[in-house]
Structure 1
């Protein structure tokens, strides 16, 4: 069974002053590097979805692609393009700004998906679902494309139309801490340093 991952780094990062979040330095390395280090032991292949700074992202040694639908349409556009670029049985989706992802993320999402005979599994920190941390079957591409083409953007509305299961990570409450602002970056850098 082949499992690929896509790191979503295609946003405009308005709250980060427009700086490309994946390339923002955190504890001495770009944020996307933290994500790659967490994912690499878990999957067969990693792709990066980025709509700018391709050259910098290519330096990490993985395939980099832009959204097929231009105009910064959100994470769904990146996922659709990733599904077009994989032959895998499952696609693991994560954002570039979650540097503390669980080292057992894939194992738990896959177990949850299979135990529930679901189409996709979404991660939860125990309090709320993390809509862009999920494992899905690439066969869902057309459904997602139709949803996006209809002008919809919210991924949780899309996955509610399918059989989905929630994988609990309440034992790792900081696993999905994401960095949206310079203040959050400083706070997380201090935590990592400790």
Structure 2
């Protein structure tokens, strides 16, 4: 029996450093940034969902289910993950941000292998120097634990990881895979780097 793996792309933030522009819809090389993330993960998962708290009709035009956080108030990525875990019937859920256009094409394969080899509940990606807290593969059955954590006033995702058997999956062979875009300047630098 093969495992079902779905994905959620987190596009629910306020994007303060992007001047309030919705990061997933900011153009990078002639297409919205979220489309780069979709292109990278689509071959790796069964279904893709988008978590967005604004511009939902524009995201829906991409052809994927779109949902907002169950809890209003921009509570951060945990809120989007909790809602996504309640929307899927998959064995595992891949979580990625909308502003990482160079995600590894073997992201799911390597993270799942690490989870299975170590009997873990979730895996978080690392570029070899830093963990990438919103690039993870986890069991949707962890939803209640994450919701209790968020409802308790906690927001730091790595504190939640510490409560579970979490493994780090290194992608030091792809150090640029997790470059994300938080400012217009970073967007320009990334576009120039990709174009080279």
Structure 1 position 50 matched with structure 2 position 56: no
Which residue does 2:120 correspond to in 1? 118
- Quote how far apart the aligned CAs of 1:175 are: 0.2
1:85-164, aligned counterparts within 5 Å? 85-164=87-166
- Quote how far apart the aligned CAs of 1:192 are: 1.0
CA distance in 2, matches of 1:116, 1:96: 29
Which residue does 2:192 correspond to in 1? 190
1:52-71, aligned counterparts within 5 Å? 52-71=54-73
CA distance in 2, matches of 1:192, 1:27: 9
CA distance in 1, matches of 2:7, 2:83: 12
Residue of structure 2 aligned with 1:34, choices 23, 33, 36 = 36
Q: Deviations over 1:65-120 (max 9, x none)?
A: 00000000000000000001000000000000000000000000100111110000
Question: Please, which runs of 5 or more residues in structure 2 have no aligned partner?
Answer: none
SS in 2 for 1:41: helix
TM superposition score normalised by structure 1:
0.99
CA distance in 1, matches of 2:194, 2:11: 22
> Which 4+ stretches in 1 moved above 6 angstroms?
none
TM superposition score normalised by structure 2:
0.98
CA distance in 2, matches of 1:128, 1:193: 26
CA distance in 1, matches of 2:136, 2:125: 6
Question: Please, which runs of 5 or more residues in structure 1 have no aligned partner?
Answer: none
Residue of structure 2 aligned with 1:166, choices 165, 168, 174 = 168
Q: Deviations over 1:102-161 (max 9, x none)?
A: 000000010011111000000000001000000000010000000000000011110111
Which residue does 1:75 correspond to in 2? 77
CA distance in 2, matches of 1:78, 1:116: 27
